[in-house]
A = this chain, B = another copy of it.
């Protein structure tokens, strides 16, 4: 079966893995556990877990070897959204068409739910019974580097600092690479861990992941500029309204779209050393550029 045909199955698989990892909603403290579950639900694209599964497929690793990694990256993604949506940060009321976590619960619970999802992500990787301890430790380190102050959290800090300022292209790109790119890249790296790939295959996959991550964020900026609120499931034009520097604001909409398309071509070209099992990686790259939300 092609990856494209299996996407619904992979999403369902992820939901089941996540459901099994999260504390039961009624377990004390119940409000916190409900908030963690709420943050993990709700129609996300699951791009990051799909990327983990697609990479595993490309390198010949069975799905169950990357279940924990797939759940962990989605938890880190969900935690980042919960914290970014807080009143002190982006102050968003809607996420994927539903009230944001602090709106559905309260700010304190949202902060703790984010903290707890981040913590649980590392626990999953460290306790993954399908991986030997070298792979477990290496994955924890990879995910921490990608998520911390020199990765995703640092990117969010750059984003906040940039609001209302003008940045040049290199600065916008650095912000995007940290804020969005690092976590997308690590999906590929986590799935490669332990696969004993030839160095040139690994480099190709890593380059694919870097290009994909940047293209994804450029496309996000483009959609924010173009989209309407009902399709996006969040406020459109929000970045512009907040005077956040984006790719389109720096190089124009048309050049931004072209840059995203070029990056996707470059990403796909860097898969040249892989066989037809890399179909999922090609499919995901295409989806990033063709998506509407």
Q: Which residues of A contact B (CB under 8 A)?
A: 23, 27-29, 31-33, 36, 79, 83, 86, 88-89, 106-109, 111-116, 118-120, 122-123, 125-127, 132-134, 136-138, 140-141, 144-145, 147-150, 153-154, 156-158, 160-161, 174
Contacts and interface: CB of A to CB of B under 8 A. Distances in A.
A27 B148 CA distance: 13
Given A31-B157, A154-B32, A123 B141 contact: yes
A39 to B, nearest CB: 12
Contacts of A106: 88
A122 B151 CA distance: 14
Contacts of A23: 149-150
24 contacts: A23-B149, A29-B161, A31-B161, A32-B149, A33-B149, A79-B115, A83-B111, A88-B108, A112-B157, A115-B115, A116-B148, A116-B149, A116-B153, A120-B148, A122-B144, A123-B140, A123-B144, A126-B137, A126-B141, A127-B141, A133-B134, A133-B138, A136-B140, A137-B137
In the complex, the count of this chain's copies comes to 2
Contacts of A125: 140
Nearest to A155: B29
A79 to B, nearest CB: 8
A160 B116 contact: no
A108 to B, nearest CB: 5
Given A118-B115, A118-B118, A29 B154 contact: yes
A149 B136 contact: no
B116 A89 contact: no
B115 A153 contact: yes
The 10 A-B residue pairs with the shortest CB-CB distance in the complex, in nearest-first order? A123-B144, A88-B107, A126-B140, A119-B148, A116-B149, A126-B141, A136-B137, A32-B157, A29-B157, A133-B134
A163 to B, nearest CB: 10
A204 to B, nearest CB: 26
Nearest to A139: B126
Contacts of A29: 149, 154, 157-158, 161
Contact of A108 (B79, B134, B154, B160): B160
A71 B111 CA distance: 23
Nearest to A144: B123
A16 B152 CA distance: 26
Contacts of A149: 23, 29, 32-33, 36, 112-113, 116, 119-120
Contacts of A109: 157, 160
A138 to B, nearest CB: 8
Contacts of A120: 144, 148-149
Contacts of A133: 132-134, 136-138
A115 B96 CA distance: 23
Nearest to A106: B88
